[in-house]
Chain A
């Protein structure tokens, strides 16, 4: 097997996931939150592909492809929402979008 071992890939995946979580939790701009979500999804993809390589089976790669498809759809909806918010002159700050408070 060429290149670095699978644990390295997993380590990077964990790092990317943590960065994503930190982004979602700490940033207030919805655009950045969306971006962080993408990072988390892609970290998962990396883990999938890594395990796929480890076990020599294609399941992980297929999963990664489906995650990409779902991610694309999710971005469409997310960006659409943000554009709609901008059009209505809402403040783009997730901490102040609290209309749904119970």
Chain B
């Protein structure tokens, strides 16, 4: 188990370093193959570890392996250690499995790009960072992975560095993530000060035993939540995710499905004892999730960019996971994470085929009727859409409904609010998903992309179609790992690490499923009728404008933080730097120059003048000495 997980962690790193070291000596395609292979080797390692763990008793599946003491300061000690347990194994399998398919897809998608080697090196690095995050055996290593994921996303979102908008989006993502990292680091400082350790076990024990004051536990939990919210693009740190669509499409898939945004959910499940010791903060996580899933749902209704619609759907689905983790249904939150990884990667990669086919066009107003040109993509995209809406028996049906049922089981005002909000979210999901699907694949082929058809790539090379098919198959079957009332191996698997606080009855689950499918189908139906009538879902007007501006979040942050910071900077430059710092330096420089021009006139260049000066000076000195004596 230990060996497998080390292979899993180090293979992508090796791939990254190999591409880096090889430079121009390998071709672009070879770089793609190295990257893909390294991630799949990592997947093999994860599978080996998984099979090993399957063979053990449930209680013995967790293992902490320390390579060496990494950091030591007095009493405080941190080891370079990996924690392999059911939770990290699930993440390892998803990250390397889905991630590997995405990297494989990139080989076809990125073919012909000038800087493919750099791209593939970054992809392997991204997967490595995420693995370090989920395998890290203590909070500090987790934070290292956390930061590296932010770096990798920055590099990949800004991959098209010749486009100003891509660079801006990369910066935005990095700043938002750095903010989250900083908040999390503060929580860790507090933990070091109060507990004296960053080991999972020690911190959890301290949180559970009640030896820390409630305030401290709440602050640590808040810090963790801040980090999770920023990484998972939940309100109020969500604005970077839609902009991150500037990156190449497989990067979006990797960010949304396998790595990065799921990290927040993983963090809450991993550190659930801290959250359970601070129930208010845990409720806050659920509320933030609910707000995000609703906001993202309504904003997605009016977006025109195919990738942005999917991006908002990701925010919305992560919102569900936060709701799940917030009510303590860790098993279901992770379950939704896994199923979501499949159908979201599927949607992005299928959208990538569409974009590839249309030579870079992303505006759904210029698409339509593509089901004839791209039959396979049409089918797989439909599978992804229905899985997203939660139509049985596809993946999203089993996992999303389980989360809602848990909210219902949690009960109380919070539980009911989450339940009703989640159902509204399911309705919105039906609306925007079907709107997207119908706009892209049905209706008339628009005139605008007639030109693209001439040079069309079809559905792309096999390396692009194969991952999509695998993911589509996954989207159909993965959900079957948890069927209420029949079997629930997935929940049992996570039980030793994160025991769920809620246990919805079979009746609750089936009732919820009925309702959720009903509202989802209703949303889908409405979207279909609107499409048939040629209407938009949201009529023109102030509501639509507000939604198109994403509820003015960008403008708000711009006015509240960006502008004041700029004003302060400009003020400091004009009032302080220019007159005092630079002005002072200028004075000094001018004075030196003036002094130099005066003294330089003494340098005549005449050797005999110097000799005379020396002689006279010595004579005067000699006289002075004689007289003074």
Tell me the A residues contacting B by CB distance below 8 Å: 21, 24-25, 28, 33, 94-95, 97-102
Known: A21-B615, A25-B615. A94 touches B603 (CB 8 A): no
Known: A25-B612, A25-B615. A97 touches B602 (CB 8 A): no
Chain B residues, Cβ within 8 Å of A101: 603-605
Q: How many residues of B contact A (CB 8 A)?
A: 13
A97–B609 CA distance with the chains assembled, in angstroms: 12
Contact with A along B588-629 (1 / 0, CB 8 A): 000000000001111111111001100100000000000000
7 A-B residue pairs with Cβ-Cβ distance under 8 Å, sorted by A, are: A24-B608, A95-B607, A97-B605, A98-B606, A100-B603, A102-B599, A102-B603
Chain A residues, Cβ within 8 Å of B615: 21, 25
Q: Looking across the interface, which residue of chain A has its beta carbon closest to that of B615?
A: A21
Q: Which 3 A-B pairs have the closest CB atoms?
A: A102-B600, A98-B605, A102-B603
Contact B604 A95 (CB under 8 A): no
Contact B607 A94 (CB under 8 A): yes
Chain B residues, Cβ within 8 Å of A102: 599-605
A25–B603 CA distance with the chains assembled, in angstroms: 17
A39–B378 CA distance with the chains assembled, in angstroms: 105
- From B600, B603, B604, B605, name the one whose CB has the most chain A CB atoms within 10 angstroms: B605
Q: How far is the CB of B597 from chain A (nearest CB, A)?
A: 9
A25–B615 CA distance with the chains assembled, in angstroms: 9
Q: How far is the CB of B423 from chain A (nearest CB, A)?
A: 89
Contact A25 B606 (CB under 8 A): no
Chain A residues, Cβ within 8 Å of B605: 97-102
Contact B611 A25 (CB under 8 A): yes
Q: How far is the CB of A14 from chain B (nearest CB, A)?
A: 12
> In B73-99, which residues have CB < 8 Å from any A CB?
none
- From A33, A99, A101, name the one whose CB has the most chain B CB atoms within 10 angstroms: A101
Contact B606 A95 (CB under 8 A): yes
A21–B617 CA distance with the chains assembled, in angstroms: 13
A5–B612 CA distance with the chains assembled, in angstroms: 33
A99–B607 CA distance with the chains assembled, in angstroms: 11
Known: A21-B615, A25-B615. A97 touches B604 (CB 8 A): no
Chain B residues, Cβ within 8 Å of A94: 606-608
Q: Looking across the interface, which residue of chain B has its beta carbon closest to that of A101?
A: B605
A101–B609 CA distance with the chains assembled, in angstroms: 12
A24–B613 CA distance with the chains assembled, in angstroms: 12
Chain B residues, Cβ within 8 Å of A24: 608, 611
- From A28, A95, A102, name the one whose CB has the most chain B CB atoms within 10 angstroms: A102
Q: How far is the CB of A45 from chain B (nearest CB, A)?
A: 18
Contact with A along B304-333 (1 / 0, CB 8 A): 000000000000000000000000000000
Q: How far is the CB of A9 from chain B (nearest CB, A)?
A: 20
A24–B612 CA distance with the chains assembled, in angstroms: 9
Contact A33 B607 (CB under 8 A): yes
Chain A residues, Cβ within 8 Å of B603: 100-102
A98–B608 CA distance with the chains assembled, in angstroms: 11
Q: Looking across the interface, which residue of chain B has its beta carbon closest to that of A26?
A: B608
Chain B residues, Cβ within 8 Å of A33: 607
Q: Looking across the interface, which residue of chain B has its beta carbon closest to that of A94?
A: B607
Q: Looking across the interface, which residue of chain B has its beta carbon closest to that of A28?
A: B608
A25–B608 CA distance with the chains assembled, in angstroms: 6
A88–B243 CA distance with the chains assembled, in angstroms: 70
Chain B residues, Cβ within 8 Å of A25: 608, 611-612, 615
A94–B611 CA distance with the chains assembled, in angstroms: 11
The contact of A97 among B599, B600, B607, B611, by CB within 8 Å, is: B607
A101–B603 CA distance with the chains assembled, in angstroms: 5
Q: Looking across the interface, which residue of chain A has its beta carbon closest to that of B601?
A: A102
Q: Looking across the interface, which residue of chain A has its beta carbon closest to that of B619?
A: A21
A100–B600 CA distance with the chains assembled, in angstroms: 10
The contact of A95 among B599, B600, B602, B608, by CB within 8 Å, is: B608
Chain B residues, Cβ within 8 Å of A97: 605, 607
Q: How far is the CB of B162 from chain A (nearest CB, A)?
A: 52
Q: Looking across the interface, which residue of chain A has its beta carbon closest to that of B599?
A: A102
Q: Looking across the interface, which residue of chain A has its beta carbon closest to that of B597?
A: A102
Chain B residues, Cβ within 8 Å of A98: 604-606
Chain A residues, Cβ within 8 Å of B600: 102
